A and B are shown apart, each in its own frame.
Chain A
Amino acid sequence: MHLLSNIIRTERLPHEFCPGCAIGQVYHYAAKAVEELGINMDKVVFLSGIGCNSRGVGYVRFDSATTLHGRAIAFATGVKLANPNLTVIVVTGDGDGAGIGGNHLIHAARRNIDLTVILYNNRVYASTGGQLAPTTPYGMYTSTTPYGSLEEPFDLCSLVAAAGAVYVARWTTAHPYKAINSIKKGVLKKGFSFIEIIGQCPTYFGRYILKTTDPVKCLKWLIENSIMKESTSKIPAEELSNKIVVGEFVDKDRPELTEQYRILREKLKLQLV
């Protein structure tokens, strides 16, 4: 029996992901966080959109859905408002969550609805063949930027923080325990939590940009090019722009949406009587 058969649909293995893909790690972190928190797993919902990352929800043994491209957060908003007792976790990608679904991302953060969004960022559209994503670094060659990208990428943590999220963190798949810890914090947090995990994609980001399909080399590149938020002042700004800044960016409290619904309903009940 598989060690994680209580949280992974082992009967569906082998999975569809490329060798060395980070998605297995990301789902492992999420499932591990839920298990370690000891939440009743019947009351946990995993939702995803479309893209490499989104295939993963079909492998975890929870109530779950692969929804429409970019729309997982909108579906999650319906689920959470309809039954606030459920723990709702969205696993999305950079193209899914920040490209086509960027509008839902910022509005859910603004509303501060109690969702935990884990955005796995491989910085390309991978399931469709390695096209430019809103997170692809400037100047990079992809299958739709044969002359190099002319666009600056999003800093997603800054975007979501500005929109009002109450917990925001970024890690890479070279920081597994930090990532699991942040997901746990995000799930426990009453409000909109956002954890960005930058992961290796040997097939596209590796092949096109790092010029290697070796996942170990890709992971090493992530370690070498990451810098803790606290250490950013130690290096020149020019050098910093090429680094992946990791750490916790926001951890604050403000009124959560489903809780505000509950309070309003109580108030109206008294008025109606």
Chain B
Amino acid sequence: MGKVLFMSGNDACVEGAIAAGCRFFAGYPITPANEITERMSRRMFEVNGVFIQMEDEIASICAVIGASWAGLKAMTATSGPGFSLMQEGIGYAIATETPCVIVNVQRIGPSTGSIFSQQGDVMQARWGSHGGCYENIVLSPYSIQEMFSLTIESFNLSEEFRVPVILLSEAAIGHLRERLVIPEKINIVNRRRPTVSIKDFKPFKALENEAPPMAFFGDGYRVYYTGHLHTVEGFPVLSLEKYPLAEEVLKRISSKIRLNIHRITMLDARYINDAKIIIVSYGSSARAALRAVNEARKNGIKAGYLRLITLWPFNYQKIRELCSYADVVIVAEVNNGQILYEVQRALPSKNVIPLLKLADTHTPMEVLAKIREVV
């Protein structure tokens, strides 16, 4: 077993980022993400990386993208209003296929809301940037161990698919303290670099299920990035008649994710095979759900537990397979119903019912009461 530590989710996130190779952090103070920014301000200098506190969240995401072009693994952390401000930058990272990680320690909304925990940004994380012809990757941690391991996974997926990955945490997880085991061996993925000559390099040319190799600024490839609809060479499409293949790059930024959904999907399924009632949940709600399912089982109720670790891309097929035996599926989440409707789309012929709460987290008793209600 590796080194055993005791720390908060936000602190574990920083250690995961450093283990993944993150060497650039730009951020702006906001509660409940401050501990990430504060720890980074010390730790980045210890690992020869860069920390900068920018003038706002917009500047933070832009600096992160710039650092990624220059070759560093880069991330930012924010919450609520800051995440809203970053949406244009996140869309730009998607369009330019720039790897980076955005940690959102969710707080209650809408607007300033407060700093109570909520899971309200699930849809914003998926659809927040304008012109929604894109796919991205969003992961939901439920423990301090996962704040560490999923931060690493966020970097790995981001590097492999050249896409911004959002680690969608919550105040309840960011501020939770529990045991963290640092594994002895950690799998690290680094972005592919071009091997062809400068003359032959097309920066956005790749198969439909992959991201192209990435040249760093200063490598001599003289790469041009733009948020404009662009050709495989990377230049703006000025007329759709002149560039009939203009859609090629636009299609690929979605297909590179969709065609790899089986590899990106992470789920935690327990007591599923004979379950008549399945609780689908994620993040902090899943902690209550697991306890409630264990209690229900002790009482002879055939309850099952399905935790979504990868929220987006949403794997409808996999959910359908896992829930095929159930009569009732309960979706527990801390918002007005967001993943609920995705589960209903995955299971059109099943009884999918909500267990919603608008702030904080569920308690095991609340989940158990719902299970008893539908038995």
Which residues from chain A sit less than 8 Å from chain B, CB to CB? 12, 16, 42-43, 45, 47, 55, 57-58, 61-68, 71, 74-83, 85-86, 103-104, 107, 261, 264-265, 268, 272
> Which one, B216, B219, B220, B225, contacts A66 given CB within 8 A?
B225
> Which one, B45, B66, B226, B238, contacts A268 given CB within 8 A?
B45
- How many chain B residues touch A (Cβ–Cβ < 8 Å)? 45
B80 CB–A CB distance under 8 Å = no
Q: Is the CB of A81 within 8 A of B67?
A: yes
Q: Is the CB of B50 within 8 A of A82?
A: yes
> Can you name 17 A-B residue pairings with CB atoms under 8 Å?
A42-B219, A43-B218, A58-B224, A65-B69, A65-B226, A67-B65, A67-B225, A68-B227, A75-B65, A77-B66, A78-B68, A79-B66, A79-B67, A79-B69, A81-B63, A85-B218, A107-B55
Q: Is the CB of B88 within 8 A of A75?
A: no
A71 to B67: give the CA distance in the assembly, Å: 14
B204 CB–A CB distance under 8 Å = no
Closest to B50 in A: A81
Interface string of B40-53 (1 = CB under 8 A from A): 00000110101010
B257 proximity list for chain A (CB < 8 A)? none
The B interface is mostly helix, strand or loop, or mixed, namely mixed
Q: Is the CB of A78 within 8 A of B24?
A: yes
B69 proximity list for chain A (CB < 8 A)? 63, 65, 75, 78-79, 82
A63 to B62: give the CA distance in the assembly, Å: 17
B173 CB–A CB distance under 8 Å = no
Q: Is the CB of A77 within 8 A of B45?
A: no
Which of B70-78, B187-195, B332-340 lines the interface with chain A? B70-78
B222 CB–A CB distance under 8 Å = yes
A47 to B67: give the CA distance in the assembly, Å: 13
Q: Is the CB of B66 within 8 A of A261?
A: no
> Which one, A78, A103, A265, contacts B66 given CB within 8 A?
A78
A16 to B235: give the CA distance in the assembly, Å: 13
B24 proximity list for chain A (CB < 8 A)? 78, 81-82
Given A65-B69, A86-B218, verify A261-B59 contact (CB < 8 Å): no
Leading 6 A-B pairs by shortest Cβ distance:
A78-B66, A78-B63, A82-B70, A74-B62, A82-B67, A74-B59
B64 proximity list for chain A (CB < 8 A)? 78
A62 to B69: give the CA distance in the assembly, Å: 13
